[in-house]
Structure 1
Amino acid sequence: MNELKNTIKGTIWAAGDPGFAEASRPWNLAVAQKVVAVVEAADAEDVAATVSYAALHGLAVTTQPTGHSASGSADGTILLRTHRLNSVEIIGGSAEAGPDGVARVGAGAQWGQVLAAASPLGLTGLAGSSPVVGVTGYTLGGGLSWFSRAYGIAADSVLAFDAVDAGGAKIRVTAETDPELFWALRGGGGDFAVVTALEFALRPAPFLYGGRIMWPVERAPEVLAAYREVTATAPDELTVWYDLLKLPGGPGFVTVDCTFLGEHPGDLLSPFDRIGGAISDGRGLLPVAELGGICAEPTDPLPSMSSAYLLTSLDDAVAEVLLADPIDPLVSVQIRHLGGALSRPVPGGGAAGHLDEPYLVYLLGLPSQDTADRIEGLSKALVPHTTGRKPYTMLHDGEHAASAFPRETLDRLRDLKRARDPRGVIRANFPVL
């Protein structure tokens, strides 16, 4: 590694060095990453030098700005940290992107930074629920946003990538310069190039209404019935999530989280208002920059075990499975409403494709055998109502990229991987091969 140390401006830790354990730590503390070294890149040149070094010495590179979505596939690789490449710039609109402007962000930028910059302009990127998730990894995996029902998958808003290919060359990838790689990077994962920056279209959000309503868990059946009623006719501007929550040692709750792209949803949420006994109701107008406060997810690393499934319906049979027993030892059983723009194929869209399924269920708990057994039990009970496909960004350690794509898409991604990186220099958290 001395050769690389003398080349880059950033920092390198080899296995056994002081600070190596912390530098190689993933976001999910339950994942053990046995990497050979960690490179904290100072700029895109450091990224190119690291990939070139790996290619020359028969090694592979796994990129993780924040460590989200880490898996055991990083074993034996150089772990490339790009969190220092965290610039965010809002630039004017274009004929291609529309009048609402474009965000140009470095590979290490987090969604909270983007929303803070776009919010005062009445704009938003297609962010998810957490402000500390990296924009790049989220987008490479597709990116299911609060606003995807209105504006589609996040990856399809991308206009250009700056990247490093498997030979260490810096490249710019657009629909014109390299249409096949551009297609793959928009939702196919990080297996094809190391992205150092990306540009994506911003969307109008002059007003945002949203927040959380919480009830005691005993109200769960009523809330789920109202949830089914609301989501059956919800316009694309409205997104609603249902969540059964049970923190260890505490009482259980049922919550509804919502966003509406407008000043007020009118009567669209009235079925929830008719349910008595709410513990709290935080709905109201809020700046886009405060989007992450709705779910208030942890912003520090912790251990977890999870699994996600796309649901073909939310009928009585599914409701019975979800409500039959307390969720212990799980911490959360969340249902997200999909549909809208997510269900409509996009001409010239990326590898993420569209989602025919109207709902998603996400199971989360602290790592233990009991948690694993509970996830397996719920998964089996839901099999008649799932398609077997999982969103790429919700894959968990031990799961595989093959679960995230239709067969034709997976074959196309694999062909591209073999053609562009035959020696496997670049390794995604969830490789397509």
Structure 2
Amino acid sequence: MTTHTAIDFLSPGDAGWDTARTPWHLLADQRPASIARPADVADVIDAVRFARTHGLRVVAQSTGHGAAALGPLHHALLLRTGQMNDVTVDPRARTARVGAGARWCDVLTAVTPHGLTGLHGFSAGVGVAGYVLGGGLGWFARRHGLASEHVRSFEVVTADGERAQVDRDREPDLFWALRGGGGVGVIVTAIELELLAVREAYAGALWWPMTRATEVAHAYREWVGTVPETLTSSLRLMHFPPLPGLPDALRGRALVQLTLADIGEDGEAALAPLRALAPEIDHVGRVPAAALGQIAGDPVDPLPARSHSRLLGSLTAGTIDTLVALADPRVTTLELRHLGGALRRPEHPGAGGGLDAEALVFASGVPATRAHELALRDTFAAIDTLGPAADRDTLLTFAGRGDAAVPAASRERLQRVRAAHDPDRLLGDR
């Protein structure tokens, strides 16, 4: 393959190839035709033009958290955007311009000194671009909706290799599509995000032994019907492996974890009914907003894990019983994430639309053995029987791609937008 001189290109066999092709999600064995590592927008333009000349499609990726959802890449140029991680803050306007390769931890480092934060997810190590393009469901969701609703503009490179600005006035259809519909028909190089004036929250985790899972899970179901929209929470049934890097209180144990963040005035009063269940571990209190990306304890280092999710239109007592029964030791995490609130009524909906669901179920684990693989498969199948929300099965940030992860009402319009901007399907997965 012809070597490009203006941008950092790698081909199979080059030094650093295996490192460059390996995503955060280690089960995704990415084998693209070539890899480009752009440092700026000019490099992205060169890469797109290079790909068109050589008959390759272009797949952009920052961290690779969603890499398992991609199809084969053997006819693709993999655009690893990690070097494009600049963050510029306008504290007066409460906005940040974020490069396509930035992670949420990069954003938090830049905005925290100004008393601001972003609508990040449970883990601060996730890439901003993929998270926002897929909707973005985080700690502020019940109060402020999806992160994709809080985008001012996108900077993109088109399928023709041209630079463009996308907002409500310029390319409004594309602006709609990029907010929750994935990277549709362009390569996003930067995003202008609205920020929140939040300095701290009442947040953290409570833990009980798994023997109390039924009691705690049913109490959780009743409790979420009473909490204010300022409070977002998650209940997890966790099986921790006996690894030396884990804290003594968690290593090798089966535990129920309640994690929450309340940006209202009286989180302590809201939590009181569940705290009355006498958790074994109580790590909830006032924390800096910048710490919210760590309170769930999501893994930072790359993992060879499989996962599956399902949106639930309602949360019944029978659902709780089913979930508790599914808490297999070979399934690391079985999570119930409370939704509702502002998620149901977006002010400026994009392709992600409103989220007419009560909860999201998420399961994950490492298929270390055949038995683990089978347990995960059975758990995923059982989750599917719990029933979808009205308009989709899950969210793009959990599924990675597919019509089942965007609202039914958005699908035809998304296809039209892609056809208008990328008729040859040069950009993105197929």
Residue of structure 2 equivalent to 1:240: 233
**Any conservation in 1 of the 2:38–2:44 contact (CA below 8 Å)?**
yes
**Any conservation in 1 of the 2:363–2:380 contact (CA below 8 Å)?**
no
1:355 paired with 2:327, answer no
Offset at 1:176? 0.7
Q: Distance in 2 between matches of 1:294 and 1:225?
A: 23
**Any conservation in 1 of the 2:202–2:268 contact (CA below 8 Å)?**
no
Q: Distance in 1 between matches of 2:292 and 2:407?
A: 31
RMSD: 1.8
Offset at 1:303? 0.4
1:34 paired with 2:31, answer yes
Superposition TM-score, scaled by structure 2 size: 0.92
Residue of structure 2 equivalent to 1:270: 272
Offset at 1:340? 0.7
Amino acid at match of 1:213: L
Q: More displaced, 28-37 or 113-122?
A: 113-122
Offset at 1:384? 7.5
Q: More displaced, 129-138 or 240-249?
A: 240-249
Residue of structure 1 equivalent to 2:215: 222
Identity %: 38
Cα 1:208–1:376 change in 2 (3 A) is closer
SS at match of 1:268: helix
Cα 1:152–1:325 change in 2 (3 A) is closer
Cα 1:130–1:266 change in 2 (3 A) is closer
SS at match of 1:289: helix
1:257 paired with 2:259, answer yes
Q: Deviations over 1:251-293 (max 9, x none)?
A: 21001000010454142111111112x2311111111111122
Amino acid at match of 1:364: S
**Any conservation in 2 of the 1:206–1:262 contact (CA below 8 Å)?**
no
Residue of structure 2 equivalent to 1:342: 343
Q: Distance in 2 between matches of 1:136 and 1:325?
A: 33
Q: Distance in 1 between matches of 2:65 and 2:359?
A: 23
Q: Distance in 2 between matches of 1:337 and 1:373?
A: 24
Q: Which runs of 5+ in 2 are unaligned?
A: 243-251
Q: Distance in 2 between matches of 1:407 and 1:297?
A: 31
1:379 paired with 2:396, answer no
Amino acid at match of 2:32: V
Q: Distance in 2 between matches of 1:384 and 1:48?
A: 40
Residue of structure 2 equivalent to 1:75: 73
Residue of structure 2 equivalent to 1:97: none
Kindly report which structure 2 residues correspond to 1:15-34, keeping only aligned pairs within 5 A, or say none: 15-34=12-31
Q: Distance in 2 between matches of 1:68 and 1:293?
A: 17
* Among 175, 183, 187, the residue aligned to 1:190: 183
SS at match of 1:184: helix
Offset at 1:117? 2.3
Kindly report which structure 2 residues correspond to 1:298-377, keeping only aligned pairs within 5 A, or say none: 298-347=299-348, 349-367=349-367, 368-377=372-381
Amino acid at match of 1:47: V
Offset at 1:2? 3.3
Offset at 1:168? 0.7
* Among 187, 201, 211, the residue aligned to 1:208: 201
SS at match of 1:413: helix
Q: Distance in 2 between matches of 1:380 and 1:139?
A: 25
SS at match of 1:84: coil
Q: Deviations over 1:58-97 (max 9, x none)?
A: 2101011111101342512111011111111110444xxx
Offset at 1:37? 0.9
Q: Distance in 1 between matches of 2:345 and 2:290?
A: 28
Q: Distance in 2 between matches of 1:136 and 1:104?
A: 11
Offset at 1:386? 7.9
**Any conservation in 1 of the 2:218–2:317 contact (CA below 8 Å)?**
no
